[in-house]
Amino acid sequence: MKRKNNLIWIAICIVIIVLVLIGAWMIKNRNKDNDNEIIEKTENEPIQKGEIPKEPTLEEKIDKQIENMSLRDKIGQMIVVSYRTLEYNDDLDNILKTVKPGGFILFGENISTYEHVSEYVKKIKATADIPMMISIDQEGGRVQRIKNLSDANALVIPSMYTLGKTKNKELAKNVGKVMASELVPFGINTDYAPCLDIFSNPNNKVIGQRAFGSDSQTVIDMAIPFSRGMEEAGIIPVYKHFPGHGDTDADSHVELPVVNKTKEELYQNELLPFKAAIEEGAQMIMVAHIALPKVTGNYVPATLSKEIVGGILREELGFNGVVITDAVEMKALADNYSQEDICKMTIDAGVDIILMPQDPIKAVSTIENLVNEGTITEERIDESVKRILLVKYKNKLNEEKVLDKNSIGSQEHIDIINQIQ
């Protein structure tokens, strides 16, 4: 009887051991399956029931948008057009709807009354599926487009050279805010300012007192906070004229200026403000139509130069933002290069936006042909379009701002401008 009981206990122990081993085996395999599920989920990221989908990043959204754009629509983003008439007419409407440009630039010829300009801008924006850079040259001093207003007291802002003499960084920032606040009510969102040029040549015919000063430190100390003020008020600043137009004695509107400096000399002076702006997060930089033979070994304008744009600006200074040309209708380019050469060479150089081609419809077709024949790759076009869209969406150009006419010429603005002595 005793032996029988022992056998029973032995059998029970064996059963328990077997059950424990089976249980351990099942747990091990279940954990292995869970591990495989985690790996599969990490690799494939399937969305399970009840799980919140991951929000795509801005870059991912833009990549997807670019995938769905036609080649012509992408090229259009690389064009800023002008149309110097007071009225919005059928010809302008056709240009905008055919080119689908990334931007439009206003000139004094487009300015009359507040209501007229704001309505003009609304009509331009209405032709676009992608938000447009509505731009202007508003610098202060002798470059002030909106002073032509007949029904609003747009402030007359002293030159940046006069502002620079104050050495007051806080005032520079406030002046930037004032200037931007007087542009936003029209639907403008981009200003081709400030100048980072150094007024180092007294014979300079085109820059002069548009610069903040005659030395690099003054330009840096004043231009950077000025731009911060513009950004805070809702305007994208465009730093210009890379790599520095201050030491020239010719006007690129009528001829090709030449800067006879070596790269080392540029790094000691002209490039310092641009380097500082890039380190502070510059979004857009405009390239000048100036030749630098001691840098490039030729007289190709910086706008068309891979050594200047792709080499110095992109690679050496590390600028990843939007590069825009100065107006390509200016004689420094237009008298020496065909529109096809300008389109090809600017894009090959690393430029993203071509400002004011003489025939914008033809420019789009020209670039399209260059891509189709393999001279320019579509991937190169995509690079520029991505940079452009990043700037547009980061600055929320897709969101309409409140347009308040009362901010133009307000007493608060007058008090700030009166501090410039």
Give pLDDT, residue 251: 66
* Distance of alpha carbon 369 from alpha carbon 340, whole angstroms: 10
Q: pLDDT tens, 110-138?
A: 999 999 999 999 999 999 999 999 999 99
Give pLDDT, residue 370: 97
Choose between 150 and 52: higher pLDDT.
Answer: 150
Q: Residue 249 above 50 pLDDT? A: yes
Give pLDDT, residue 38: 34
Q: Where residue 412 falls among pLDDT bands split at 50, 70, 90?
A: very high
Catalytic site residue from 191, 197, 326, 352 = 326
Give pLDDT, residue 153: 80
Q: Residue 250 above 70 pLDDT? A: no
Mean pLDDT of 167-194: 96
249 close to 202: Cβ distance less than 8 angstroms = no
Q: HEC string of 57-118? A: CHHHHHHHHHHCCCHHHHHHCCEEEECCCCCCCHHHHHHHHHHCCCEEEECHHHCCCHHHHH
The number of residues making up the chain comes to: 421
Nearest to 99 by CA among 317, 368, 341: 368
Give pLDDT, residue 15: 56
Mean pLDDT of 160-167: 97
Catalytic site residue from 137, 253, 348, 382 = 253
* Distance of alpha carbon 243 from alpha carbon 296, whole angstroms: 13
Q: Residue 2 above 70 pLDDT? A: no
Residue 262 Cα distances to 243, 258, 270, 370, angstroms: 12, 12, 11, 33
Q: Residue 243 above 50 pLDDT? A: yes
Q: pLDDT tens, 59-89?
A: 999 999 999 999 999 999 999 999 999 999 9
Q: Where residue 39 falls among pLDDT bands split at 50, 70, 90?
A: very low
Give pLDDT, residue 19: 62
Q: Given strand 236-242, what is the order of strands in its sheet?
A: 322-325, 284-287, 236-242, 190-191, 133-136, 103-106, 79-82, 354-355
Q: Where residue 248 falls among pLDDT bands split at 50, 70, 90?
A: confident
> In sequence order, which ranges of 373-410 are alpha helices (DSSP H)?
378-394
> What percent of the chain has a predicted confidence (pLDDT) above 70?
86
> What percent of the chain has a predicted confidence (pLDDT) above 90?
73
Mean pLDDT of 294-320: 97
CATH superfamily, domain at 58-413: Glycoside hydrolase, family 3, N-terminal domain (3.20.20.300)
Q: Residue 40 above 50 pLDDT? A: no
Q: Residue 30 above 60 pLDDT? A: no
Q: Residue 400 above 60 pLDDT? A: yes
Q: Where residue 155 falls among pLDDT bands split at 50, 70, 90?
A: confident
Strand partners, 81: 104
Mean pLDDT of 404-413: 85
Q: Residue 33 above 80 pLDDT? A: no
Give pLDDT, residue 23: 58
What count of other Cβ atoms lies within 10 Å of the Cβ of residue 272? 19
Give pLDDT, residue 327: 93
Average pLDDT of the chain to the nearest whole number: 89
What one-letter code names the amino acid at 374? G
Q: Where residue 255 falls among pLDDT bands split at 50, 70, 90?
A: confident
Q: Where residue 201 falls among pLDDT bands split at 50, 70, 90?
A: confident
Q: Where residue 16 falls among pLDDT bands split at 50, 70, 90?
A: low
Let me know if 326 is a catalytic residue.
yes
